Structure 1
Amino acid sequence: MPLGLLALAVGGFGIGLTEFVIMGLLPEVAADFAVSETVAGYLISGYAIAVAVGAIGLTAAVIRLDRKKVLVGLMGLFIAGNLLSALAPTYELLLAGRILAALCHGAFFGIGAVVATSMVAPDRRAGAIAMMFAGLTSANVLGVPFGTFLGQQLGWRSTFWAITVIGVVALVGIVALVPATADDAVPPRLRAELRAFREPQVWWSILVTVLGFGGMFGGFTYIAYTLTEVSGFASSTVPWLLVVFGSGLFVGNYLGGKAADRSITRTLLVLLAVLTVVLAVFALTATSQVVTVVSLFFMGAFGFATVPGLQLRIMGHAAGAPTMASAANIAAFNVGNALGAWVGGLTIGAGLGYLSPLWAGAGITLVALVALLVATGIERRGQDGDGAGKAPASVRGAQVEVG
């Protein structure tokens, strides 16, 4: 394993921690700044919006620059944002720090995915992406519980100081371990990168990402209510149950990368089909605490196992210009998060109960499966027709088997 992948994973760990740990610290932050829970919640929604904006806008702005230098700059931006959060004397400056850190999120993972795949052989590229995203999943399993505990014991600012230190470690690692761009490499041009969006399969990939990830988050966003109001768990056990979910993310990410290196389409079809079933079974059996724990693990595992394949699919169809497409797919993950949360909230607001987000998630995931089947059919007809169809991704930019 190239050590540069480890440096990217550390960066992913810090970014994942920044994104998710605030959920466990909202009561302390709200009390410190004397704001309502709703206003404190803007620290989450504002971050998500900034991720999507940064994934597209910031990536477009730096597309001509050396990728390693861009990653270094993005990590510097991340450190600055968390340092501002740790020192913020007002709620508004804390929100500004969150947004500043979030701007680097999408661009870091989008560009980082391209850099990660360049460090390994073509048949290990999904695994390389999975390694980078392992930092994000580790943040859920280990970082969020520890960060929440640290913030509750020493004050919420201590958590942001710890994240700042992690950012510095990642920065040093990227500088020392990530290989520089070859001197003879031609820097990508924004116009060429944008031309990748003329390829219909790029848009199909984005759609599948939004729906596939949105389905899992449709069930997950309101999982605390399901666990306490339906399954009968005490509120104090919810953080530890979320560790079970995070463990599923970690395992699924690793195995999903291994499987996608063999066949992206087959892997995604199986994963989306099984995830649909898992969400439905979870909804049917949520009154059983034992089955609920098992369902939590598998919801995380099969949900996040799709990530390496979804990311590599769009890069494979980007016609040798994968950077903007990769960043757009990171934005699509966050759009999926918002979509799942919105639909799940609608079902609860309609009086359908705390199981309804799981059923909504299953429905969204089923639509993702149908979309992938349609996209695969269109792609194969183009390849088997009069020869005018696009070449398979195995002979284009990402050099992977999509079929």
Structure 2
Amino acid sequence: MPIALIALAVGAFGLGTTETIVMGLLPELSSGLGVSIAQAGLLVSGYALGVTVASPVVAVLTNAYSRRYTLLLTMAIFTLGNALSTVAPGYWALMVARVVTSFSHGTFYGAASVMACQLVPPHQRAKALSLVYIGLTLAMILGVPMGTVVAQFSSWRVAFGLIALIGLAAWLSIYAWIPQDKVSGPPVRLYAQLHAMTRPLVVTMMLVSLFTSASMFSLFTYITPFLHIRTGFTAHTIDLVLLLIGGGLCLGNLLGGRLADWKMLPSCAGLMAAVTTVQLLLVPGSLYAWSCLALLFLWGVFIYAPMAPLQSYVVTCSGSAPNIASAMNQSSFNLGNAIGAWAGSLLVAGPESYAKLPVLSAAFAAIGCVLVFIAKYFEKRMQAEQPTQNAA
């Protein structure tokens, strides 16, 4: 595999870390900024909403640039945003810095996905994409727990400063290792690209992405206080639990690719049903340490397995608009992040309310499962229409 894929993975690692690190920093951010846990959790929603709004717009604005230039530009924005987070004087300044950082997210992943496929032969594209996304998975395994430990022993500002350094390292490695490519294409009107996104199958699958992400972040955003209140874990024990969940996410990333190559939509439906079951079991299971650990590991496997396949499937279904499809599906994921974190914030008013978080997560997953069956209907209808169009 080309060494350039490492540069893309480093960038994905940085983006994944800055997107999710707030979940592990909620107590430090709450006390340091003088806000409630629920308000601190909305820093996740602010970032996610920034991605949702900015991703398709930035993708269209950078369509006339080479993907190498787009990667360098978005990573520069990412580094700047995290540097601003490091020196933010208050809550709203940090919120603005998080939104600035979010402008890089969807377009980087879109350009990185296409660039990874260009760097390898067609039969190795799935493997190349998995290597890029392993950076995001490693952010769950290492980035968030390490950032949490750094914040506990120093400050949340130091954690954001280290992420800015990761962004600088990614920018330098992209500059050194990513080859110059041709421009993505001539400028295309936003309407023309968005029109390709109106296919029923594409819309339905982006909704699946949204509810999958909402299911994940409705619990994951508040995982630190959830474990402290429900299971009685200490801060240092929670760091180890985050590593365990990250291991499940990594296994899910590997499992998802294999299942998608087998049968995409049936696998996705089965995984969402498994998430629903595990989350409902977590309501009583979170009161006991070992059952909580086992269920959270399984949850990590099942919730993350559909993520990369969903991205690839939406791009495939979009036909002639892969760039905007990739960016808009990232918007769907992050709108789900925002909805999940916001919905969770409504349930964490008191200690007894944390038991409702797994139920909320299960509800989102169940909706995603139903949407997969609807997508299967649209897939069959699209396949039935293709022979007729070819004959014409």
- TM-score after normalising by structure 1: 0.85
> What is residue 399 of structure 1 aligned with on the other side?
none
SS in 1 for 2:181: coil
> What is residue 363 of structure 2 aligned with on the other side?
363
1:316-360 Cα shifts (integer Å, max 9, x gaps): 111121111111111111111233334445566799843332223
Say if 1:285 and 1:67 are closer, same or farther in 2 by CA, change over 3 A: same
Say if 1:267 and 1:127 are closer, same or farther in 2 by CA, change over 3 A: farther
Say if 1:376 and 1:242 are closer, same or farther in 2 by CA, change over 3 A: same
Aligned length: 390
CA contact (8 A) 1:64 1:190 kept: no
The CA distance in 2 between the partners of 1:160 and 1:386, in whole Å, is: 50
The CA distance in 2 between the partners of 1:390 and 1:326, in whole Å, is: 27
> What is residue 297 of structure 2 aligned with on the other side?
297
SS in 2 for 1:214: helix
1:348-385 Cα shifts (integer Å, max 9, x gaps): 67998433322232232122122111211222133235
> What is residue 395 of structure 1 aligned with on the other side?
none
Matches within 5 A, 1:154-165: 154-165=154-165
- Deviation of 1:120 after TM superposition, in Å, equals 3.3
CA contact (8 A) 2:279 2:359 kept: yes
Give the share of equivalent positions with the same residue, in percent. Answer: 36
In the alignment, residue 60 of structure 1 is paired with which amino acid? Answer: V
The CA distance in 2 between the partners of 1:225 and 1:81, in whole Å, is: 27
The CA distance in 2 between the partners of 1:252 and 1:86, in whole Å, is: 32
Does 2:139 match 1:139? yes
1:204-223 Cα shifts (integer Å, max 9, x gaps): 11111112222233343444
SS in 1 for 2:104: helix
CA contact (8 A) 1:271 1:302 kept: yes
> What is residue 127 of structure 2 aligned with on the other side?
127
The CA distance in 1 between the partners of 2:58 and 2:88, in whole Å, is: 24
- Deviation of 1:29 after TM superposition, in Å, equals 4.9
> What is residue 188 of structure 2 aligned with on the other side?
189
SS in 2 for 1:212: helix
CA RMSD of aligned residues (A): 3.0
- Deviation of 1:388 after TM superposition, in Å, equals 3.7
CA contact (8 A) 1:127 1:308 kept: no
CA contact (8 A) 2:219 2:357 kept: yes
> What is residue 70 of structure 1 aligned with on the other side?
70
SS in 1 for 2:103: helix
> What is residue 286 of structure 1 aligned with on the other side?
286
1:169-217 Cα shifts (integer Å, max 9, x gaps): 111211222233247x744624543232132211011111112222233
- Deviation of 1:34 after TM superposition, in Å, equals 5.5
The CA distance in 2 between the partners of 1:345 and 1:38, in whole Å, is: 5
Q: State which drifts further: 96-105 or 9-18.
A: 96-105
The CA distance in 1 between the partners of 2:390 and 2:262, in whole Å, is: 21
CA contact (8 A) 2:66 2:182 kept: no
Q: State which drifts further: 240-249 or 268-277.
A: 268-277
> What is residue 243 of structure 1 aligned with on the other side?
243
SS in 2 for 1:387: helix
Q: State which drifts further: 83-92 or 110-119.
A: 83-92
The CA distance in 1 between the partners of 2:156 and 2:343, in whole Å, is: 31
Say if 1:389 and 1:242 are closer, same or farther in 2 by CA, change over 3 A: farther
Matches within 5 A, 1:4-403: 4-29=4-29, 40-41=40-41, 43-89=43-89, 92-182=92-182, 186-187=185-186, 189-191=188-190, 192-346=192-346, 353-384=353-384, 387-388=387-388
The CA distance in 2 between the partners of 1:277 and 1:90, in whole Å, is: 40
The CA distance in 2 between the partners of 1:320 and 1:41, in whole Å, is: 38
- Deviation of 1:93 after TM superposition, in Å, equals 4.2
- Deviation of 1:96 after TM superposition, in Å, equals 3.3
Where in structure 2 are there 5+ consecutive unaligned residues?
A: none
CA contact (8 A) 2:279 2:299 kept: yes
In the alignment, residue 312 of structure 1 is paired with which amino acid? Answer: S
Q: Which has the higher contact order (CA 8 A, sep 6+)?
A: 2
Where in structure 1 are there 5+ consecutive unaligned residues?
A: 392-403
CA contact (8 A) 1:193 1:322 kept: no
In the alignment, residue 74 of structure 1 is paired with which amino acid? Answer: T
